Amino acid sequence: MHVHTRARRAGAALAAALTWAGLLAGCSSPGSDDPKPSAPEDVIRVTPEDGRKGVRADRPLRVRVAGGRLESVTVVRSQDGQDSPVPGHLSADGRVWQPDEPRLALAAKYTVDAVAHDGDGRRAARHATFTTFVPDQRFIGYLTPEDRTTVGTGMIVSVQFNRAIADRAAVERAIRVSARPAVEIRPHWFGGDRLDFRPRAYWKPGTRVTVALRLRDVEGAPGAYGVQHKDVTFTVGRNQVSVVDAAAHTMRVRRGGRLVATLPITAGAPGTTTYNGKMVVMEKLEVTRMNSRTVGFGGEYDIPDVPHAMRLTESGTFIHGNYWAPGAPGHTNVSHGCVGLKDVRGGGADTPAGLFFHRSLVGDVVEVVHSDDKKVAPDNGLGGWNMGWDEWKSGGAAH
């Protein structure tokens, strides 16, 4: 199942070799015991629409519900390597949220997370992103991870440009990624609009990484010049790698190489199997909506309140909690490609999904083995660890 999340502080280590009770992946087809969708597809409406690019500054930003009431709305603006909250206010009836400032910022990415109760009092969530217009003759790069964050040891530095880069060597030379303690870091281009950086192996815990963007006045394409001149830093936290065995229906969680938990899981069913390979937690959502139509399926599922969701690929693979089919984890694979852990409606703090969620960081590695599927593509999310070091190094432009 797929959807459109953010890291919380990691807690104490999980108890060794826990055998938590089973549950189902949120990518599963709803069965007779599954909850009926608690709201129509447009219960929470966000404008500009999810995924829109080049939004003009005078386009109104609104979050609204047709019935019921908005419970919470969080909007974050990412611009020039920094995230800033967007202040706003609710209407008197609780049905409309709008920002205090009427105009959007140019060359920015906006992320909207909203939770509402529909007309029948049921909970629904919405996650949406859009980017605003970049003036002609300019280009920018949207950077992952965020400035001044603590991330897992599998984090890959990724710069997504708003337009195709013709002079990749010039742009590559204008971005420097360094680490303390020092380690060799190399770039790799995916097409003409994405540049990733990583070391040969996972970062060591405690490493401090600095990304120096020196794109201002660099000509990336004929007549298009960069605007950014900024340093972004992040810190690498403890090492956590979780291995999902799709055939055995288990996930082994290791901290610093030591096994701290063994959890029952459910993975992709035959025909909708889970990718093999190393994936990196890209974002975390306490609650989110998952709708099969957004990822190329029919109307198999539409669950508005999936708890403890962590995105693993851009195409929509998640590891998340599931409260509607508790018999699958540890026994059978029934999802549409995600990895499911046992949870309760609303998200339980002490469930397998809740404990794993709150002890995970953006940048942690989740590796899937023994699934009847291909290996995840290195540009699907932060999948670059699936590429050998020599092949990775060959993808740089400024040799």
Q: Which CATH number is 207's domain given?
A: 2.60.40.3710
Query: What CATH number is given to the structural domain containing 59?
Result: 2.60.40.3780
What are phi and psi for residue 353, nearest 5 degrees?
-65, -40
101 and 85 belong to one structural domain: yes
Establish if 145 belongs to a structural domain.
yes
- Cβ of 286: how many Cβ atoms within 10 Å? 18
Tokens 């919380």 label which residue?
Answer: 8
Domain count, the chain: 3
Give burial (CB, 10 Å; 0-12/13-18/19+) of 147. middle
What are phi and psi for residue 279, nearest 5 degrees?
-125, 155
Domain stop point among 213, 238, 263: 238
Establish if 303 belongs to a structural domain.
yes
Strands 229-236 and 149-151, by their bridges, are parallel
Which among 34, 74, 118 is positioned nearest to 303, based on CA atoms? 34
Establish if 110 belongs to a structural domain.
yes
234 and 250 belong to one structural domain: no
> Looking at residue 12, what is its pLDDT?
33
Give CA separation, 65 vs 3, 39, 40, 62, 90, in Å: 19, 11, 11, 10, 11
Establish if 29 belongs to a structural domain.
no
Give CA separation, 345 vs 3, 58, 168, 328, 354, in Å: 17, 39, 48, 16, 11
176 and 191 belong to one structural domain: yes
Judge whether 27 counts as a catalytic residue.
no
Domain stop point among 223, 238, 253: 238
Establish if 108 belongs to a structural domain.
yes
206 and 249 belong to one structural domain: no
226 and 245 belong to one structural domain: no
Domain stop point among 131, 146, 162: 131
Establish if 201 belongs to a structural domain.
yes
Instruction: Name the β-bridge partners of 366.
Output: 242, 279
126 and 145 belong to one structural domain: no
pLDDT by residue, tens only, the chain of 399 residues: 443 333 333 333 333 333 333 333 335 434 333 444 444 346 899 999 999 999 998 899 999 998 899 999 999 999 876 789 999 999 999 999 999 998 898 889 999 999 998 777 788 999 999 999 888 788 999 999 999 999 999 999 999 999 999 999 999 999 999 999 999 999 999 999 999 999 999 999 999 999 999 998 899 999 899 989 999 999 999 999 999 999 999 999 999 999 999 999 999 999 999 999 999 999 999 999 887 555 555 556 678 889 999 999 999 999 999 887 788 888 999 898 999 999 998 888 899 999 999 999 999 999 999 999 999 999 999 999 999 999 999 999 986
Helices (H), the chain: 168-173, 352-358, 389-393
- Cβ of 207: how many Cβ atoms within 10 Å? 20
227 and 345 belong to one structural domain: no
Max distance between CA atoms of the chain, in angstroms, equals 61
Give per-residue pLDDT as tens, 142-166.
Answer: 999 999 999 999 999 999 999 999 9
Domain of 125?
44-131
Establish if 246 belongs to a structural domain.
yes
Q: Which residue of the set 338, 358, 370, 399 is catalytic?
A: 338
Establish if 6 belongs to a structural domain.
no
Helices (H), 131-202: 168-173
Q: Which residue of the set 2, 117, 127, 320 is catalytic?
A: 320
Which among 248, 228, 246 is positioned nearest to 140, based on CA atoms? 228
